[in-house]
Amino acid sequence: MKKVIKKISKWLFPLLIAAAILIYMYHDFDFRGTWELLRGNTNLVWLFASLIFILLSHYLRGIRWLLTLESIHYRPRTINSVLSIYVAYASNILVPRVGEISRCGVLTKYDGIPFSKSLGTLVAERIVDFLLAMLIFLVMLVCQFDKLVSFFDKTGTRSGTLSTLLHSPWFYVVIVVITALVFLIRYLFKRSKNSSVAGVKKTFDNFVEGFVSLKKIRRPWLFILYTLLIWLCYYLEFYICFYSFPFTSSLGPVAAAVIFAAINVAVIVPTPNGAGPWHFVVITLLCMYGVSEADAGSFALIVHTFQSMFVLLFGAIAWILLQLINRKHHEN
């Protein structure tokens, strides 16, 4: 019973966060205005065009994964790697962070790649993506300092929080303790002859092997290129939506870049497809660029809902294709 409650809470907690933020942002919102905007003053061509960059970013992420897997001597079928990405993003909308599990599970099922090794490569990729997201944010912070500082002031965030954390001795004590625990567990694994512990040790070693896969990539320049193209697609799938609405079409690429950079920080909060934090950042910053609160709310609601629906559709199609393609492959 406890396990069931724990699983339900993991699924329910992110939904409650998203719901709380959305209720806060839209509690007195006029949804009829959004419907009228969608019916009469929204250029749907640009919204559908944004889907091209979603599809392309997923494809690039799938073929980038092949590079890290190849570095640990695994070569899954390209179609399985790519389709697993579409399934993963759709899964994350239904249950946040479960996409990583489903993504690795696809390659375990159809290509026989150990789950722990593929998960290690995935974590390595995520760290690279996180660092790039932080770099984008820092660049925008330097280039558009006034806007982002105003955003932090308005939302109650204070730059002193990070400074306080870094000057606290307990921050470094925690780092030392965690590091010591990792080495202790590693030492115990090596010393133990117990079969069950040995099994855990093997899983841990597989994970580490996957995690350090970036050091062994044969074509690092290609990994970097794919990474940059993936993030360019992420930016374009957001920016191109500006042209769907009269009140954002003139804002320009810099405004989109600032909002995009802030979104990357906000979606660290594990909610379905960033729902809630995504809306909060987009609405707040659009208002700072002169868009009315009602229009900003409509923009966030329409764009996020539209793209999320199609990500779910892409994921469902990918799941069906995985069954059909691999069934046919095994029959042959």
DSSP string for 201-234? HHHHHHHHHHHGGGGG-S-HHHHHHHHHHHHHHH
CB atoms within 10 A of CB 12: 13
The pTM of this model reads: 0.78
For the chain, helix, strand, coil in percent to 5 are 85, 0, 15
Residue 27 lies in a domain: no
> Three-state SS across 115-128?
HHHHHHHHHHHHHH
Q: How many domains does the chain have?
A: 1
User: What single letter denotes the amino acid at residue 178?
Assistant: I
Place of tokens 């699924």: 11
Residue 30 lies in a domain: no
Rounded mean pLDDT of the chain? Answer: 79
Q: Give the tokens for residue 4.
A: 């069931």
Q: Give the tokens for residue 331.
A: 């029959």
**Rounded Cα distance, 173 and 176, in Å:** 5
Q: What is the pLDDT of residues 199-257, one digit of tens each?
A: 445 545 555 555 566 778 888 899 999 999 999 999 999 999 999 999 999 998 999 99
Q: What is the pLDDT of residues 45-72, one digit of tens each?
A: 999 999 999 999 999 999 999 998 988 8
pLDDT of amino acid 100: 83
Residue 38 lies in a domain: no
Residue 117 lies in a domain: yes
**Rounded Cα distance, 214 and 203, in Å:** 19
Whose CA is closest to 81, among 60, 56, 53, 52? 60
Sign of the alpha-carbon torsion through 305, 310, 312, 313: positive
Name the percent of the chain lying above pLDDT 90.
33
Q: Give the tokens for residue 187.
A: 């030492």
The domain containing residue 141 runs over which residues? 11-17+49-331
Of the CA atoms within 13 Å of residue 237, those in its CB half-sphere come to: 22
Residue 42 lies in a domain: no
**Rounded Cα distance, 249 and 288, in Å:** 15
Cα-based distances in Å from 15 to 84, 93, 268: 24, 10, 14
Residue 254 lies in a domain: yes
Residue 306 lies in a domain: yes
pLDDT of amino acid 151: 61
Where on the phi/psi map is residue 269: left (φ > 0), alpha (ψ -120 to 50), or beta? beta
Residue 41 lies in a domain: no
